[in-house]
Structure 1
Amino acid sequence: MINPRDLHICRDAIRQGSLSFYAASKLLPAKVRDPALALYAFCRLADDAVDLHDEKISAVLRLRDRLDAIYEGRPNDAAADRAFAAVVEMHEMPKALPDALLEGLAWDAQERRYRSLSGVIDYSARVAAAVGAMMSVLMGVRDADALARACDLGVAMQLTNIARDVGEDARAGRIYLPLDWLDAEHIAPEAFLADPVPDDRIRRLVQRLLREADRLYARSEAGIAALPLSVRPGIFAARHVYAGIGAAIAKNGHDTISYRARTYKSQKIGWLALATLRSGVTTVMPRSAVLHAQPLPECAFLVSAAARPVARGSAWGDGRSGALLSILADLEARDQSRKLDRLGA
């Protein structure tokens, strides 16, 4: 069981750092809501630890060590770590799923850019769809089709986040828009980062990214209808609340450099009501054939990992992938080199 004091701290972290998910979580039953808050708190704080600190490499390596400690049954003395360790134990969470998040954050530390939309989706699979897959596991859903649609929803949410944060990311020296899209609009990445301007070209790219997100939001709905009835309102709510951010971006003319799109409490209340209504409708409607669509190629590894139960007391999966181990070794070498440079200075 999650310690109530740890859960309270996790709940506060989500209330302050992710209002959209916090609002949607209110429609989940307590047996799902509590581990979901613990999961989101750990993932959110892990993301912040890398995103908001200058020493991103060290932050990723610390996260690696924290995950290892959690899966060894000796979590760090921190509420989010203890709570996530309880979730891992209760739900036999495959280690490949939080490892995917770790890999995405490692890509951030490497300051990767993505040549194509597929590359952006590769990144989104790790930092967002992996969380969707973990949510499915803690809901007791390991059906491959439902997992594929959960990954669709996670990627859609991340594409929305990228569209919303174009200006904020540019001012921090980051760019997540596909580089081939920039090339097609004759936008030089370095020039854009030096002077981010919301001209028609960049607005078109934001609009284009949101169209991709909307396509995946629509695909995800078939998976929501396949979930247990008790959790459908909360997941429908998350779908509508995040899609509402895209609508707010459109209202601002797809300018996410001058403005940060926001949604309001009254809107969230409306989306929560809509989610409850739609959940009831899905009980009498035939299931959509879209449920059985193949997973996004970039998310197939997540579906495979989550669909395969891991025996309690095992190694929690097949170990870290060679790609992730290579990235971590690269970051370790960079970290050691930086420390030696400081000693020499």
Structure 2
Amino acid sequence: MTAAATTAPTPAEAPAQPAAGSSFYTAMRLLPAAQRDAMYAVYAFCRAVDDVADDGGARDVRAAELARWRADIDALYAGGPVPARVQTLVGPVRDFGLEREDFQAVIDGMAMDAEADIVAPDAATLDLYCDRVASAVGRLSVRIFGLAEAPGRDLAHHLGRALQLTNILRDIDEDAERGRLYLPRERLAAIGLARPTPEAALAHPRLGEVCTALAAEAEAHYAASWRIIAGAPRKATRAPRLMAAAYHLYLDALTRRGWAAPRARVKPGKLRLLAVALRHGIL
């Protein structure tokens, strides 16, 4: 999964906030209060269902809890009593027109991890996964940011995939420890891994070819995102601009580091992150 660690809110708590110092936290701090609070509510929902998928116990327990989240989201839109743990979403749904299908898509993405460990999905399944766990969150976010419908959905499509592919490349070792491998099956087959396992893929001498190709896909999505951002009002794109620029620093750092083991965890330098924050937080 991708979201920065924090705890999910209990019904009596305010929406959970992302970890201070994270790119997401910095981007959200740029927003007016109503938008910021709405994003924190969406973040808390995403964090809660992400925790179910990753650390929610046995698979049947995780499936049952995700089913309860689906029912709670349905109740949020049904016009009757709203379950306590989605009360913080009432205002954002009303004020920004957030769509039920996007919340449900996020849950569907978490279910893909909860039902079985994903290992070398085919390209179409990987793209569907990215859409659900990242671009669906983007579709909720761009409505809060105030982007127009068509460019907003396009930005969510491309930037969500760019960020998620960056996360996959950043986290390949940590994911393997969980028994997961998000690298696409077709590219692994091309280097001779017809039945890939996480261990075999990460030890393969041609792993770099697969990672380089996936990084190129991410770069194409970043480029498409910037083209959309360039044509949109700057006020509505401050947060996505910062997220795109900050996450691209991670992709740059990964590319410079390379893919051979041992793969040190990468983190962009504080000065580079500060420069991104100042550029996109002020302009």
Q: How many residues align?
A: 267
In the TM superposition, what whole-angstrom CA distance separates every residue of 1:314-342 from its partner, at most 9, and x where no partner exists? Answer: xxxxxxxxxxxxxxxxxxxxxxxxxxxxx
C-alpha distance 138-233 of structure 1, shift in aligned 2 (>3 A):
closer
**Equivalent residue number for residue 171 of structure 2:** 165
Q: Does 1:15 align with 2:22?
A: no
Greater relative CO, 1 or 2 (CA 8 Å, sep 6+): 1
**1:199 Cα offset (Å):** 4.3
2:156 and 2:264 map into 1 onto residues whose CA distance is 30
Q: Which amino acid aligns with 1:147?
A: R
Alignment of structure 1 residues 55-70 onto 2, 5 Å: 55=58, 56-70=62-76
Q: Does 1:148 align with 2:148?
A: no
User: What secondary structure sits across from 1:233 in the alignment?
Assistant: helix
Alignment of structure 1 residues 221-300 onto 2, 5 Å: 221-255=226-260, 258-276=263-281, 280=283
Alignment of structure 1 residues 75-94 onto 2, 5 Å: 75-78=82-85, 81-94=86-99
Aligned counterpart in structure 2 of residue 53 of structure 1, from 48, 56, 71 = 56
1:257 and 1:70 map into 2 onto residues whose CA distance is 47
2:65 and 2:16 map into 1 onto residues whose CA distance is 20
Moved more, 44-53 or 207-216: 44-53
- Larger of the two Rg values belongs to structure: 1
**Equivalent residue number for residue 116 of structure 1:** 122
**1:267 Cα offset (Å):** 2.7
Q: Does 1:28 align with 2:22?
A: no
Alignment of structure 1 residues 122-141 onto 2, 5 Å: 122-141=128-147
In the TM superposition, what whole-angstrom CA distance separates every residue of 1:145-188 from its partner, at most 9, and x where no partner exists? Answer: 33212211011111111111111111111121111111111125
C-alpha distance 257-26 of structure 1, shift in aligned 2 (>3 A):
farther
User: What secondary structure sits across from 1:187 in the alignment?
Assistant: coil
C-alpha distance 258-114 of structure 1, shift in aligned 2 (>3 A):
closer
Give the conservation status (yes or no) of the 8 Å contact 1:164–1:256.
Answer: no
1:266 and 1:98 map into 2 onto residues whose CA distance is 36
**Equivalent residue number for residue 217 of structure 1:** 222
Give the conservation status (yes or no) of the 8 Å contact 1:249–1:255.
Answer: no
**1:195 Cα offset (Å):** 5.3
**1:113 Cα offset (Å):** 4.7
TM-score (norm 1): 0.69
In the TM superposition, what whole-angstrom CA distance separates every residue of 1:178-222 from its partner, at most 9, and x where no partner exists? Answer: 1111111112545x3345645442222122111111110110112
2:30 and 2:131 map into 1 onto residues whose CA distance is 25
**Equivalent residue number for residue 97 of structure 1:** 102
2:161 and 2:254 map into 1 onto residues whose CA distance is 18
In the TM superposition, what whole-angstrom CA distance separates every residue of 1:114-163 from its partner, at most 9, and x where no partner exists? Answer: 65333211110111001111111123334313321221101111111111
Give the conservation status (yes or no) of the 8 Å contact 2:136–2:156.
Answer: no
TM-score (norm 2): 0.83
2:147 and 2:239 map into 1 onto residues whose CA distance is 15
**Equivalent residue number for residue 42 of structure 1:** 45
1:228 and 1:217 map into 2 onto residues whose CA distance is 18
Give the conservation status (yes or no) of the 8 Å contact 2:102–2:140.
Answer: yes
Give the conservation status (yes or no) of the 8 Å contact 1:24–1:241.
Answer: no
2:260 and 2:32 map into 1 onto residues whose CA distance is 37
**1:230 Cα offset (Å):** 2.0
In the TM superposition, what whole-angstrom CA distance separates every residue of 1:268-303 from its partner, at most 9, and x where no partner exists? Answer: 2111123247xx5xxxxxxxxxxxxxxxxxxxxxxx
* Percentage identity across paired residues of the two chains: 29
Aligned counterpart in structure 1 of residue 189 of structure 2, from 183, 192, 198 = 183
